[in-house]
Chains A and B, each alone.
Chain A
Amino acid sequence: MDFALTEEQEMIRESAENFLADVSSSAAVREAMQTEHGYDKQVWQRICEEMVWPAIHIPEAYGGMGLGYVELAVLLEKMGKYLLCSPYFSTVSLGVNALLMAGTEQQKASYLPKIADGQLTATLAYTGVNGRWDAHAVQATYQKTVDGYQLNGQLRFVPDGHTADLLIVAAREQGSEGEQGVALFAVSADSQGVARQWLPTMDQTRKQAEINLTAVSVDDSALMVNADGGWSKLSSIIQLAQIAVAAEQMGGAQQTLDMAVDYTQEREQFGRKIASYQAIKHKAADMMLKAEVSRSAVYFAACVGQEVLAEQGDAELIDDLPQAASMAKAYCSDAFFFNAGNAIQFFGGVGFTWEYDCHLYFKRAKSTETFLGNASYHRELIAKQLLDADGGLS
């Protein structure tokens, strides 16, 4: 047992820290977030070419670096810390995972090398308009045609959906319900009948889009996984993504703690640094506890993710994916929100201004908390496993 980062992982962490401190300053974030596109293309190019980050957990056979989910979590933590505006989360934490978990050999061979070297961005589009995150969220439909499929429907809340080159679309057999009838398709965003609309968001650092599919025709090779086991694959993809969100949240929870504590060491009131007041110290201690436990939650869940994606992973850990993901997402969602909210309180009046960065984290905390299910949603999933006769497996 050795539950610590390896030397190599520490090096990845340090180089991510140095790079992001340089390219994702407050000024850079603010410039990128005000655009509809959502990111600086030159920075993205450097991320792909200099840092080769999109390749991090793509197997070497597909032109990747062949590292694991823990290494990915290390990067995501730092991206969360620096509120990096980029299509990294959508492309890697959604797109790459979907291709690795559900892609055909041909799809993997055709898309993964392009993602690895930065030619292609991707995202996952599975949520319809009903605001759910479970199987009921899948509302788009597909119909078999002579030489392929026709897709129809309205998809909402799709991360970077307006800019991604490749859409991994979840659709259901007409008339099917719940976990039945769900299939996944790899759809080029420029396919005929795909209409994409940017949705302005409260958290401007995370772009979302609505995608309307109107009689979109794809051929047979676009099918990733059919209705037999489609939801099972998709739910694993979603769970891996929940771990990725939690890793970013953990970075944000740590950063809001650090910002807040630094500020209390400068700010004086009643002739003392406000850091010297026990009311402030004790709140800061609670924030640190949440940041530390978040770290334990994320690294454990990342170890599970690693096994899920490995060729011959540990069966016991693989079975733990749903719960590990829910625990990490529930805990880190609450922790990031708690820390970001308290950071505003520590900063006082200036924490309420547009000028200081507190609001950027506070908004990111809320958007990531909501995305892929908030803490209550995940605790209910855990409760089903613990308390219900069928173990929540239905």
Chain B
Amino acid sequence: MKLQFSAEDELFRAEFSAWLADNLTGEFEKIRYRGGPGDEHMYPSERHQWEKKMAAGGWTCIGWPEAFGGKDASIEQQVIFHEEYARVGGPGRMGHIGEGLTGPTIIAYGSEEQKQKYLPGILDGTELWCQGYSEPSAGSDLAAVKTKAVLDEGLNKWRISGQKVWTSLAHESDWCFVVARTDPSSQRHKGLGFFLVKMDQPGVEVRPIEQLTGTSEFNEVFFDEAVAEDILGQPGEGWTIAMALLGFERGVSTLGQQMLFQNELDTIVHVAKDNGASQDPALRQRIAEAHTGLRLMRYNAMRMLSDPTSGDLDKSALVYKLHWASWHRNLGKLAMDVLGPESEICTAGPYDLTRLQSMYLFTRSDTIYGGTNQVQRNIIAERGLGMPREAKG
């Protein structure tokens, strides 16, 4: 058991952090700490420029194999990458769907031609991707997908019709991957296909969703016989590919996410010291609990990412989402309680929220997206504890 990173990994850390210090400056100064969860609608063009800057420096897709332009970075190095990026307030990555999800999926399931067609645009930061998973009636229950794909024999391409929802950055993206039903008589996870769809075409319409924050970073995407450029794998393999895609990220960005949490907690501690909330015995307990929860989240993540030689490690991964989501939601409430009456006052009218207000409201989504807390608890009980599966309707 070893908590420290190797000397080689520390060199990697120094190299990346030096690059960030030299490059996240000037025109990019204003996008530091911006564009993260709850703020993804901000500064899209500057952040896209930043993606290209990262690419030019060789800092995109570092976990990809060298053969496809990556650095073949180890899990440790990817963790360091995310940690250093978050430490300096690196802006929300507009390229993260392509880099973390689409790219690895194409590498695993795509043809040679598809790899050559799609990977370079992700690698150089020019082409942005969004995801088409959830639907109005397929939220936690992803297999309830209704969006249809019909083969257009004349074009020899599939046409997509249906509605996707909660698609962030849809209006900024060049491409969308879409899970759709290729076999109209099929049910649930059978008969699905995994499609790559160009956003700029007549059959695709993006409508922003106004959230409880008053801002819109998520969208609905309507497909009306939109042409899919490609299908990944075969019709019927969509579910397998979609599930594999969700496993690619392997939690390497979690330590980076924790850096952002730390930054929020530091802000709350600062406010508490400033306004005297730090002397309230009940708030002291909650601040200490939040601090403890975050530190333990880090060690939990380190267990999760360490080489799994023991069966216990899978369990740390199973509980991870439930832990961080619940923790972060509590942090939102703590922030408001520490602020006291000031927690109600906005930065400006009509509805310009402070960072902590926005965080407070946005954390209500943490326990919903990516598997609600209730779905997480089912998964933990069934996979982690071997309890009976829920009856399926």
Contacts and interface: CB of A to CB of B under 8 A. Distances in A.
A38 B312 CA distance: 33
A387 B278 contact: yes
Nearest to A299: B1
Contact of B285 (A1, A280, A383, A388): A383
Interface stretch (B46-54, B94-102, B313-321): B313-321
A376 B385 contact: no
B4 A387 contact: no
Majority-rule SS of B interface residues = helix
Interface residues of A, number: 49
A380 B80 CA distance: 32
B380 A289 contact: yes
B1 A382 contact: no
Interface in A1-16: 1-7, 9-10
Interface in A254-296: 257, 261, 264-265, 273, 275-276, 278, 280-282, 284-286, 288-289, 292-293, 295-296
Given A1-B3, A300-B3, A288 B292 contact: no
Contacts of A295: 303, 312, 316
B308 interface: yes
A386 interface: yes
A2 B288 contact: no
A278 B309 contact: no
A134 to B, nearest CB: 16
A6 B385 CA distance: 24
Query: Which of B79, B272, B384 has the most CB atoms of chain A within a 10 A radius of its CB?
Result: B384
B323 interface: yes
Interface string A351-394: 00000000000000000000000001011101100111000000
B392 to A, nearest CB: 13
A79 interface: no
A377 to B, nearest CB: 10
Chain B interface size, under 10 / 10 to 19 / 20 to 34 / 35 or more: 35 or more
A292 B2 CA distance: 19
B278 A261 contact: no
Contacts of A327: 292, 295-296
Contact of B385 (A261, A273, A293): A261
B249 interface: no
Majority-rule SS of A interface residues = helix
Given A273-B388, A278-B390, A387-B284, A297 B1 contact: no
A1 B381 contact: no
23 contacts: A1-B302, A1-B305, A2-B306, A3-B299, A3-B305, A4-B303, A4-B313, A6-B1, A282-B377, A284-B387, A285-B380, A288-B315, A293-B300, A295-B316, A296-B299, A296-B302, A300-B3, A379-B284, A379-B292, A383-B278, A383-B288, A387-B278, A387-B284
Given A1-B2, A275-B388, A327-B295, 16 more contacts: A1-B76, A4-B308, A4-B313, A275-B387, A276-B388, A281-B378, A284-B387, A285-B377, A285-B381, A288-B315, A289-B322, A297-B299, A379-B284, A382-B292, A386-B287, A386-B288
